[in-house]
Amino acid sequence: MENSKKRHDGLKVITTEKIEFSHREEYSKPIGTILRPVAKVSLQRSNHEWTSEFMYVDSSADFTLIPYKLGKFLGLRHESEEVYEIQGINGVVSVIFKTLNIKIGESEEFQAKVAWSQIEDVPLLLGRLDIFDRFNINFRQNEHKVIFDRDD
């Protein structure tokens, strides 16, 4: 948590929480070096331990997406859930939706619906569902950072 403070607005106490992440430098064949917005996301495993991954913050992704092996590592299993076919930039991918406990940076944990890909070759995406309603997300391209801001 980069910045946390309490302020009083009338009779209500509001907690302000800001979590900042620097963009990650990567190489793109057609354009060379590029900076991409990422966030450190912690996911709770079935044994209640936490694992952290950097995910692309993707405002055009409807939901958060994780690859098959990460889901297995978290302890996810295909039970009786429906398998959905979703369209992505790389084509159609089969996914199963699971609800996971997650944390963005040092935020308090919360539940989010995540699409667990049934193939490995997908990027780690932090999408809008259950995330963008919880935080005000500010992409500061010229400062090379993304800020998650929350007023309670």
Domain residue extents for the chain: 36-141
> Is the CB of residue 132 less than 8 Å from the CB of residue 143?
no
Q: Is the pLDDT of residue 16 over 90?
A: no
Higher pLDDT: 88 or 78? It is 78
Residue 100 pLDDT grade (very low, low, confident, very high; cuts 50, 70, 90) = very high
**pLDDT number for residue 152:** 60
* Average pLDDT score, the chain: 89
What's the token pair of residue 66? 């994780």
Q: How far apart are CA 72 and CA 118, in angstroms?
A: 10
Per-residue confidence (pLDDT) for residue 14, from 0 to 100:
45
> For residue 109, is pLDDT > 60?
yes
Q: What is the DSSP string of 71-129?
A: HHHHT----SPPPEEEEETTEEEEEEEEEEEEEETTPPPEEEEEEEESSS----EE-ST
What whole-number percentage of the chain has pLDDT above 90? 78
Phi, psi values for residue 68, rounded to 5°: -55, -50
Estimate to the nearest angstrom the gap between the alpha carbon of 94 and the chain centroid. 19
- Rounded Cα distance, 118 and 70, in Å: 11
Q: What letter does residue 23 receive in the DSSP assignment?
A: P
Please check the confidence at residue 9 and state whether its pLDDT lies above 90.
no
| Tens of pLDDT, residues 39-82 | 999 999 999 999 999 999 999 999 999 999 999 999 999 888 89
The DSSP call for residue 131 is T
**Among the listed residues 96, 130, 82, the one whose alpha carbon sits nearest the alpha carbon of residue 110:** 130
Tokens of 83: 């398998």
CA distance 57 to 140: 12
The pLDDT of residue 79 is 84
Strand 110-117 versus strand 64-66 pairing type: parallel
CATH number of 36-141: 2.40.70.10
